[in-house]
Amino acid sequence: MQVEGSYLLARTLKEEGVDHLFFLMGGPNYEIINNSEDLGIRAVDFRHEQAASMAAHGYARVTGKPGVTTAASGPGTLNLLTGQYTAWSDCAPMITLGGAGPIEDFGRDGFQEVDQVGVFEPISKAVMRPTDPARYPEHVSTAFRLATTGRPGPVYIDCNEDVLYGKVEESEAVVPSRAKGRSRPAGDPDLIKQAVKMLDDAKSPMVFAGGGVWWSQAYEDLQRVIERMGIPFYTSPMSRGLVADDHEMSFPAARSGAFRQADVVLVVGTRMNWMMTFGKRIGSDANIIQVDIHGAELGHNRSVDIGIEGDAKTVLQQIYDEAERTGFQSKSKSEWIENLREADLSRRERVAPLENSDQRPIHPLRLCKDLREVLDRDSILAVDGNEILHYGRQSMPTYVPGHRLNSGPSGCMGVGLPYAIGAKLAKPDKQVVALHGDGSLGMNIQDFDTAVRHNLPIVIVVSNNEGWTARVEGIRKPGRELGFTRFDKVAEALGGHGELVEDPKDLQPAFERALDAGVPAIVNVRTDPTARALSRFVGSKME
């Protein structure tokens, strides 16, 4: 029987375990969607391709498996680019199927002709352009393998019209090759021994973990190491919840001091990028043990004393076993732990007046405090904006792995609402909340309609300070002022639930009504335009 390339592509998606496809309709990808739906894949259409791609990234972050997105040729596919970039910078697995004109028209100024492969290549782990429909199973399967092995990342596949609609005998389609069982690369045993001894000898050690722990599903192994060694831990912002924020070894409000004062830092599955001030956030005298599956990352931007190339899960298991073998002495760290506990408590006491303030306009920390008090412990939280991003980082905890999303290393705004949609599709039984600034929400507000149409009861909480960043007297910020946007009215007009909150005593009741509404909801909170978060990115320094 003859089949089209689109069918073979969709069939391979199903074989690779895809259950959701994020898209905006258009040619030549119609039959990718139709065949996917016929095979039992849920296809979710968006109002803008950027949001579809970002939702696929959010879905990947919550599930741990690749999100898949597709769009029409030319402008449609190029609109996926920002979402592809956020996934690339976050080292998240994603498969992007870009619609494209027929190969036979290349070089002839064909309809929407543009070198999409060349455009996507710098922000993709790999790019492909299949030319034979019979090879779609091979190419798609390879894309999944590339996206999920080693350091994860997005893979782009150019889907040309004449290849998608080309027909072949189904029996002649290439059968993809797969590894049914894959080993995880282990760390050098001698380096493991050195690392455990260094941690045992340390007086003020800490663990700093990131996305590599999440993608290798090593969060339980991380917790075992932390508890066996009695070492405090911190995570990159996107990885909050790898170990619960209220764990006895968690002191989030003492983060800055911990990085400065630690004498040994175990860095697992995260990079010394700009968010770490290129490694300078760690004290200059500290010894560093770095674990990463990507060998080139070891010692990048900051020299390390022990570099262990290996999978986070395997290496953490090795570290735990070595600590057991040697009788690691966790009690020797008690003074360090107590110092961090006191610093954490002191910082919380300093911000308590703002968290409980009755001022109007409402202080963002009061918003955060009242929101966290009504959320389920296993709720999924996306945070997106500028001031509110920093306030949310300071005061909004996460207790479950994969349940925290934010702008990530790209610092991209506009991700919150799409992330929330992707997260709700991934885990429909969980509360999903996006904590937004008003500027960032405006970027993809049209896809609130997507949540309504697909019956996805997410909650958007807007810290509405009437513009971009805080208003600072005496400093000109061109384009800062946006006025007060009635996002609550937008929600109502699109078929959702909307509320405006101007008095702090109304916050929790409004949040509870939104969570119970059973439809997508926006709670629009008028917040202080002059409230400036303590963490600011200025030039190349965090202050």
List, for residues 355-369, the tens digit of each pLDDT value: 999 999 999 999 999
154 and 87 in contact (C-beta within 8 Å)? yes
Q: End of a domain among 317, 341, 365?
A: 341
Q: Are residues 334 and 389 in the same domain?
A: no
What are the tokens at 155?
């893979």
Q: Are residues 123 and 200 in the same domain?
A: no
- Residue 346 covered by a domain: no
Q: Are residues 207 and 321 in the same domain?
A: yes
Number of domains in the chain: 3
Give the 3-state secondary structure of residue 150: coil
- Residue 180 covered by a domain: no
pLDDT of 110 higher than 90 = no
What Å distances lie between residue 512 and 75, 238, 377, 456, CA to CA?
40, 26, 15, 17
Q: End of a domain among 306, 341, 376?
A: 341
- Enclosing domain of residue 244: 189-341
pLDDT in the model for residue 542:
27
Quickly state the pLDDT bin for 331 (edges 50, 70, 90): low
pLDDT in the model for residue 543:
24
Residue 244's CATH number? 3.40.50.1220
Quote the CA–CA distance of 478 and 497 in Å, as a whole number: 33
428 and 454 in contact (C-beta within 8 Å)? no
pLDDT of 389 higher than 50 = yes
User: DSSP code of 47?
Assistant: S
Percentage of the chain lying above the pLDDT 90 cut:
87
Is the peptide bond preceding residue 428 cis, with omega within 30 degrees of 0? Answer: no
pLDDT in the model for residue 332:
64
The Cα angle at residue 239 between residues 238 and 245, in degrees rounded to 5? 115
Q: What is the pLDDT of residues 24-62, one digit of tens each?
A: 999 999 999 999 999 999 999 999 999 999 999 999 999
Q: What is the pLDDT of residues 73-82, one digit of tens each?
A: 999 999 999 9
Average pLDDT over residues 323-351: 89
- Residue 8 covered by a domain: yes
Q: Higher-confidence residue: 215 or 278?
A: 215
413 and 451 in contact (C-beta within 8 Å)? no
Nearest to residue 540, comparing CAs of 305, 301, 258?
A: 301
Q: Are residues 165 and 218 in the same domain?
A: no
Give the 3-state secondary structure of residue 533: coil
Q: Are residues 332 and 208 in the same domain?
A: yes
Quote the CA–CA distance of 363 and 371 in Å, as a whole number: 13
Q: What is the pLDDT of residues 440-493, one digit of tens each?
A: 999 999 999 999 999 999 999 999 999 998 898 888 889 888 999 999 999 999
Quote the CA–CA distance of 392 and 411 in Å, as a whole number: 14
Q: Are residues 51 and 121 in the same domain?
A: yes
User: DSSP code of 475?
Assistant: -
Percentage of the chain lying above the pLDDT 70 cut:
98
Quote the CA–CA distance of 435 and 413 in Å, as a whole number: 12
What are the tokens at 58?
């959010």
Q: Are residues 387 and 503 in the same domain?
A: yes
pLDDT in the model for residue 534:
61
pLDDT of 537 higher than 70 = no
Residue 424's CATH number? 3.40.50.970
Q: End of a domain among 310, 341, 372?
A: 341
Q: What is the pLDDT of residues 411-433, one digit of tens each?
A: 899 999 999 999 999 999 999 99
> Chain-wide mean pLDDT for the chain?
94
Provide the residue type at 534 as one letter. L
User: DSSP code of 177?
Assistant: P
Provide the residue type at 327 as one letter. G
pLDDT in the model for residue 156:
98
Q: Are residues 14 and 147 in the same domain?
A: yes
Quote the CA–CA distance of 286 and 251 in Å, as a whole number: 19
What Å distances lie between residue 491 and 12, 99, 392, CA to CA?
38, 32, 23
Q: Are residues 313 and 393 in the same domain?
A: no
pLDDT in the model for residue 113:
83
CB atoms within 10 A of CB 430: 16
Nearest to residue 210, comparing CAs of 298, 299, 312, 295?
A: 312
Quote the CA–CA distance of 96 and 43 in Å, as a whole number: 14
532 and 473 in contact (C-beta within 8 Å)? no
Quote the CA–CA distance of 510 and 500 in Å, as a whole number: 8
- Residue 351 covered by a domain: no
435 and 396 in contact (C-beta within 8 Å)? yes
Q: Are residues 203 and 323 in the same domain?
A: yes
CB atoms within 10 A of CB 261: 18
What Å distances lie between residue 229 and 55, 204, 318, 329, 346, CA to CA?
38, 12, 13, 7, 25
- Residue 177 covered by a domain: no
pLDDT in the model for residue 539:
31
Is the pTM here over 0.85, yes or no?
A: yes
pLDDT in the model for residue 229:
94
pLDDT of 408 higher than 90 = no
Q: What are phi and psi of 229, to 5 degrees?
A: -90, -15
Quickly state the pLDDT bin for 536 (edges 50, 70, 90): very low
Average pLDDT over residues 522-539: 77
- Residue 182 covered by a domain: no
Q: Higher-confidence residue: 329 or 383?
A: 383
146 and 126 in contact (C-beta within 8 Å)? yes
Q: Are residues 243 and 308 in the same domain?
A: yes
pLDDT in the model for residue 105:
84
Kind of pairing between the strands at 2-4 and 167-169:
antiparallel
What are the tokens at 142?
């390879």
Q: Are residues 388 and 288 in the same domain?
A: no
Q: What is the pLDDT of residues 222-255, one digit of tens each?
A: 999 999 999 999 999 889 999 999 999 999 999 9
CB atoms within 10 A of CB 183: 8
Give the 3-state secondary structure of residue 525: strand
- Residue 211 covered by a domain: yes
- Residue 183 covered by a domain: no
